[in-house]
Amino acid sequence: MLSSKVQKTFGYENLILRSLLKAVSVIALLTVLVMQSAFSENLQPPKSVSPAWQEVLASLPKNEGVFNSALRRSVRERVSLVSLSMDHLQDSKVLAQKLIPRLELLDKELSKYVRVSESVSRFEQLKRLMPGLYNIEERKLIESLLKRQGVSIPRLRNSRLLGILDKRIALLANGMIFNMKALIRERRDYESDLLKSMSSYGIKFSARPPDFILDYQLDFGEQNEQAEWVFNAKMALLGKYEIPVVKVEEVLITDAATKAEAQSRSVEILAKLITMQLKQYLIEISGENGPP
């Protein structure tokens, strides 16, 4: 029989543990909601964008591919657009004076990205072309606005190159593949769910020479007092020399009827997290090198 003091101590520690697990559960849920938003096609333009640009941002056609679409939306959110007021939209001459010089500069800068070699991996090519994606997306927005306002767009030298690079970036973003790390190739009952989840967020498994090696670990901890399943989860996309490009490490708490269902949901969360991290990595390494 435990003494009253010991019982109180154990009770206090259990209360702390339950609170921590509940907090982790909330964090995991919020993280999933953020991931879902990040890959949604129905996001509204950022509120920080001036009203003059809002309609243009909302009217751009959807891009093909989950990862490609998410990547381009993030780029558009970070592009520094020319400051315009609603009054500017009513004066074609002023609009042309403000936007045509910028369009000409973007066209000139586009030639920097012609010589990106195709001999490196798809991911490496995409990294080197990311500043060019900022150029392309800004140019699309400017041209779309000018067309909407009936302003004539001058014939620019690199108009054909724009289309070529735009298509190449889309193919690269939609074509990245991974293979499994040799030490974890043994069959696991949830591996098919992992491959399916990764594919649904734009990174597919292939036996061909990959862009990444996927390393992951999903360890079952325990069921908490709410009968939720607790997993210690790790995942990384490894690049050259198996150096991690991006990685996540989370305690995942899942409400599911069975352990198998909980495992399936957990690897889906991991797939969302790692692909979001990859997108963020590409955005961050390229943001400072975008067009002037």
Dump pLDDT digits (tens) for 24-34. 444 444 444 44
Question: What pLDDT does residue 51 have?
Answer: 87
| pLDDT at residue 188, as a whole number | 72
DSSP codes joined into one string, 160-172 = HHHHHHHHHHHHH
Rounded CA-CA distance 173/107 in Å is 22
Q: Residue range 6-12: average pLDDT?
A: 40
Q: What local confidence, expressed as pLDDT, does residue 226 receive?
A: 84
Backbone Cα Rg of the chain: 24
User: Which pLDDT belongs to residue 27?
Assistant: 43
pLDDT digits (tens, 9 = 90+) for 76-112: 999 989 999 899 999 999 999 999 999 999 999 999 9
Backbone angles phi, psi at 210, to 5 degrees: -90, 165
Q: What is the pLDDT of residue 193?
A: 93
Segment 162-174 mean pLDDT: 97
How far is the C-alpha of 197 from the C-alpha of 188, rounded, in Å?
15
Burial class (CB within 10 angstroms; exposed 0-12, middle 13-18, buried 19+) of 242: exposed
